[in-house]
Amino acid sequence: MKIGLGINYAGGFKEVVAEVADLEKAGLDVVFVPEAYSFDAVSALGYLAAATERVELASGILQLFTRTPTLTAMTAAGLDYVSEGRYILGLGASGPQVIEGFHGVPYDNPIGRTREVVEICRQVWRRERLAYQGKHYTIPLPEGQGTGLGKSLKLINHPVRERIPVLLAALGPKNVELAAEIAEGWQPIFYLPERAKDVWGDALEAGYAKRDASLPPMDIYAGPALAIGDNVEGMREFIKPHIALYIGGMGAKGKNFYHNVATKYGYGAEADRIQELYLAGDKDGAAKVVPDELVRDISLIGSREFVKERVAAFRESGVTVLNVVPMGATTADRVKLIEELRDLV
C-alpha cells in the first residue's frame, strides 16, 4: 500500500514545502493539494514539484466546472512536465456551494461532464487534432457558432506521458460506476472498510464490467485520520466536527451526498440529527451526535496493534493508498507518524 496525505489549503503553501520534503524522506508516496476557494491548487503543485524528488503530486481535487476541458489537459501536462512524470490528475465535481456560490457557474450534469472532460484530456495528451462532439462540449465550435475561424488544433508540446493518471473523487452510485469504468484511481470519503462493499460494491462491479482492458487496475484512495500510540483514542473527538460539517452542512436536506453515505453505513437516524442540528446553527451539538463507532472505524487512531489491524482491514477491502491525516502537533510528530505507518503497511 502507498501512503499519501493532503496539505492544508487554507494556509500558505511555502510553509509546508520543507515539511513535505521531510515526509518524502520518511516514506510518503503521494501529496494531495486540495482546491476549494483559497489559493489555487496548481500554483502549490508547481511549487512542490520543484522542492521534491520522488513523491507523486496529486490535485485533490481540481474542480470540474472551473476550467475548460482543454485547459485542464494543458495544466495536467504542464504539471507532469515540471514534476518529471509524477502528477496525478485528481478531478471532482465539488458541489453547488462552491461552484455556484464562489465561481458563479451552474452546477449541472456532473457525471456527463466528467466523462467528456476525461475523454478530451486523453485526446489532448495523445496530441490528436481535437474533433470532439459531446453533449456538453464541442471542439472546435460548429459552424454557425463563434466567428467561424475556429479549426481543429493539437497540443504544441509533447507531454511527458500521453496517459496521465486520472483520479475521480466520487460518492454517488453513478459517479462511482463511472470512476470504475474510466479512471486510474477513485477517491471516496469517510471510507469504512467493512461496509464499503454494501455502499459501493454494485456500482464498482458495474463500472469494472465496462472498463477498457488497456487501463490498469483501479487504485482506491481512502482518507483516514492517523494517530498511533497508547491513550490516543481521545483524539477521535477532533474528527467529529469535520464529519459533522460534511454530513450536516454540505448540502440541503435530500441533496447531501455525505449524509447519504452515513445513512447507507447504518447511521441514518444519527445523520438526520446531525443535519438537523447543523442546519439550525448548532455545530457543536451536531459534532456531539457523530457516532463514536463511525469515527473509530473510518480512522487509524489507536494503539500500534489497533492501527495494524485496521490497515489490514483497509487492504482487505481493496484500498491501495492510505491518504492519511497525521494528527501530530509538529513536523517531527507528523514525520514520526508516517515512519510508523510505513512499518505497518
Mean pLDDT for the stretch of residues 285-289: 98
**Cell 485526446 found at:** 123
- How does residue 285 score in pLDDT terms, banded at 50, 70 and 90? very high
pLDDT at 271 over 80: yes
57, containing H or E segment: strand 56-59
For residue 140, whether the previous peptide bond is cis, meaning omega lies within 30 degrees of 0, is yes
pLDDT tens-digit readout, 116-125: 999 999 999 9
For residue 61, whether the previous peptide bond is cis, meaning omega lies within 30 degrees of 0, is yes
Task: Please give the torsion angle defined by the CA atoms of residues 104, 79, 176 and 306, in that order, rounded to the nearest 10 degrees.
Answer: -110
Q: Which residues of 56-92 are buried (b: 16+ CB within 10 A; e: fewer)?
A: bbbbbbbbbbbbebbebbbbbbbbbbbbeebbbbbbb
Alpha-carbon distances of 261 from 17, 189, 199, 270, rounded to whole Å = 34, 9, 7, 12
- How does residue 311 score in pLDDT terms, banded at 50, 70 and 90? very high
Predicted local confidence at residue 336, as pLDDT: 98
Strands 219-222 and 321-326: parallel
Predicted local confidence at residue 124, as pLDDT: 98
pLDDT tens-digit readout, 155-167: 999 999 999 999 9
Predicted local confidence at residue 244, as pLDDT: 98
pLDDT tens-digit readout, 53-74: 999 999 999 999 999 999 999 9
Mean pLDDT for the stretch of residues 11-37: 90
Predicted local confidence at residue 300, as pLDDT: 98
- How does residue 149 score in pLDDT terms, banded at 50, 70 and 90? confident
238, 327 contact by CB (below 8 A):
yes
What are the structural domain ranges in the chain?
2-227+302-343, 230-301
Predicted local confidence at residue 188, as pLDDT: 96
- How does residue 139 score in pLDDT terms, banded at 50, 70 and 90? very high
Mean pLDDT for the stretch of residues 86-104: 93
pLDDT tens-digit readout, 222-257: 999 999 999 999 999 999 999 999 999 988 898 898
Average pLDDT, the chain: 95
Predicted local confidence at residue 168, as pLDDT: 98
Predicted local confidence at residue 95, as pLDDT: 82
Percent with pLDDT over 90 in the chain = 89
**Cell digits for 280?**
439550525
Predicted local confidence at residue 78, as pLDDT: 98
Q: Structure pTM? A: 0.95
Specify the CATH superfamily of domain 2-227+302-343: Luciferase-like domain (3.20.20.30)
Percent with pLDDT over 70 in the chain = 100
Predicted local confidence at residue 257, as pLDDT: 87
